[in-house]
Amino acid sequence: MRINSGIYWVSWANINAKNSKSLDDLASPFKENVTEFINALKDAGASVRINATRRSQKRAYLFHWSWLIALGKIKPSQAALETGVDINWNLGDDSSSVQAAKEIVNGFGLAVPPHSNVAPSLHSNHIIGKAIDMDITWTGTVNVAKKDGTKLNVHYTNNARNNPELLLIGESYGVYKLKTDKPHWSYDGR
Ligand SMILES: [Zn+2]
């Protein structure tokens, strides 16, 4: 039985479709690769704070379709189905359906125009467990081991994208920076 769209689904997702900050929830071999990279950084004296690892596909599904319906980009009847998320998007008339979708958008605090003009994505390396958002900090210079054991001196920069040595070290472990997203690293740089 389907449950009607509305604020209920935010509470539901906060229990049943949570995002993770744990390395254990990543997919192999990215999990092992990024763990080795982080250990090398910590061994050299850097601090690593993980903000996100795997994102829930069910949560992303609710983000995506609630946004499109709330903003009138699609008809409620056009939303795709998602196994394990038995939501009824179409409450019979458009204004009720839009209002219910807005409850979900607001409940999750999704960015809407003018802050964001694109729907939250259904596709992300976070969803397949192959991306991580992390803050890497240290003071001055650290000497970090690459995968092959050779070490590089790395001077601190506020944004990892501007740190060629840090990027080389990450790449040696199979962890690539997405340069347009400050904390984001993944298995393919996306
Ligand atoms: Zn990310």
The rounded Å distance from CA 97 to ligand 1 centre is: 31
The rounded Å distance from CA 92 to ligand 1 centre is: 37
The rounded Å distance from CA 139 to ligand 1 centre is: 24
Task: Residue 89: count other Cβ atoms within 10 Å of its Cβ.
Answer: 24
Contact 88, 3 (CB under 8 A): yes
The rounded Å distance from CA 183 to ligand 1 centre is: 7
The rounded Å distance from CA 126 to ligand 1 centre is: 6
Total domain count, the chain: 1
| β-strand pairing of 3-4 with 87-88 | parallel
The rounded Å distance from CA 8 to ligand 1 centre is: 27
AA letter at 130: K
Domain boundaries, position 166: 3-186
Per-residue DSSP letters for 77-137? GGPPPBTTB-EE---SSHHHHHHHHHHHHHHHT---TTT--SPPPS--TTTTT-EEEEEEE
Q: Is the pLDDT of residue 190 over 90?
A: yes
Q: Which run of H or of E encompasses 56?
A: none
The rounded Å distance from CA 85 to ligand 1 centre is: 24
The rounded Å distance from CA 65 to ligand 1 centre is: 20
Q: State pLDDT tens for residues 82-96.
A: 999 999 999 999 999
Rounded to two decimals, the pTM is 0.85
Q: State pLDDT tens for residues 138-181.
A: 999 999 999 999 999 999 999 999 999 999 999 999 999 999 88
